[in-house]
Amino acid sequence: MSAHHPHDELLVSYAAGTLPETASVIVATHLALCPACRKSVSRAECIGEALIQDIAPVRMEALALDSTLARLDEEQPSTTVAPPVPSGDPLLPRPLRDLVPQGLQALKWKTLGGGFRYAALKADGAGRLGLLEGQPGKATPHHGHHGDEFTLVLSGGYTDELGAFARGDLQCGDSTLMHRQVVDAGAACLCLVLTRGGIRPSHPVLRLLARFLPF
Ligand SMILES: [Zn+2]
C-alpha cells in the first residue's frame, strides 16, 4: 500500500482528462500501484458524470448527483483506470509500457555521475518525463527546484527530509521543496520522474553544472 499519493487536484484533473500526457502517465502509473487512489478517481468520475447529467436541459425525476452520491459506497468500475496487468517486465506498470516498448535495457541511458543514470521518455507542457535510476546507498546533491517535480518509485526506495519512499509512492514537490534523496541500501532505485523547470543544486559549482542535466 502506497504511503505517498497525488494531491486531490491532480487526481481530479486526471479524472476529468485535462492533464497533459506526461502528467497523465505518471498519475496513471501510480494508480496502477495504488488501489486507494484508483477508488478516489472512480468517485471523481462518478461525480463528474452526475454533474453533467444535472446541468443537461432535461427534467429528471431525481437529481442524478444525489442518486450517484448515494451509490458511491458501492464498488464502481472506473472507465479510465485499468487495474495492473501482469506481463513481461514486472517493474513497468501497464501505463508505462507504450513509452518503454522494448524494455528498460533498450532505453538510451545517460550517465549522470554519482551512481545515477537517466533515460528521457517524453516532454510536453507539464514537463520532462523520464526514468532515473540510482545505485544502492548513493545520494543526489542537496537541491531545490525551479518548478514542480513528481517522483514515482518503481523499484527499490529512497529517503529524504520528508520521509521514506518505496514502490508505488509518489512524491509531489514544487519550487519550495529542498531535499537530498538517499537511495536505500541493498538494491537500485528506479523512479519515474516528471520535472518542470529543472533542479537548483544548493552548491554553487553544482548549480553551474545543473544546466547540462537532461531534466
Ligand atoms: Zn495513491
Q: Cα separation of 104 and 178, whole Å?
A: 29
The number of residues in the chain equals: 215
Helix (H) or strand (E) holding 24: helix 21-33
Is 6:15 a contact under the CB 8 Å cutoff? no
Rounded distance from Cα 203 to ligand 1 centre (Å): 33
Rounded distance from Cα 208 to ligand 1 centre (Å): 36
Rounded distance from Cα 60 to ligand 1 centre (Å): 35
Please give the single-letter amino acid code of residue 117. R
Cell triple for 192: 519515474
Rounded distance from Cα 210 to ligand 1 centre (Å): 31
160 CB-side CA count, 13 A: 20
Per residue in 10-57, pLDDT (tens digit) is 999 999 999 999 999 999 999 999 999 999 999 888 877 777 666 655
Closest to 121 in 3D by CA, of 13, 11, 26: 26
Q: Cα separation of 40 and 214, whole Å?
A: 34
Domain locations in the chain as residue ranges: 8-96, 98-212
Q: Residue 144: beta bridge partners?
A: 200
Per residue in 44-100, pLDDT (tens digit) is 888 777 776 666 555 555 555 565 556 555 544 445 554 444 445 778 999 999 899
Structural fold of domain 8-96: Arc Repressor Mutant, subunit A (1.10.10)
Rounded distance from Cα 99 to ligand 1 centre (Å): 21
pLDDT band at 139 (very low <50, low <70, confident <90, very high): very high
Q: Cα separation of 82 and 95, whole Å?
A: 9
Say yes or no: domain 98-212 is CATH 2.60.120.10. yes
Rounded distance from Cα 30 to ligand 1 centre (Å): 6
Is 171:151 a contact under the CB 8 Å cutoff? yes
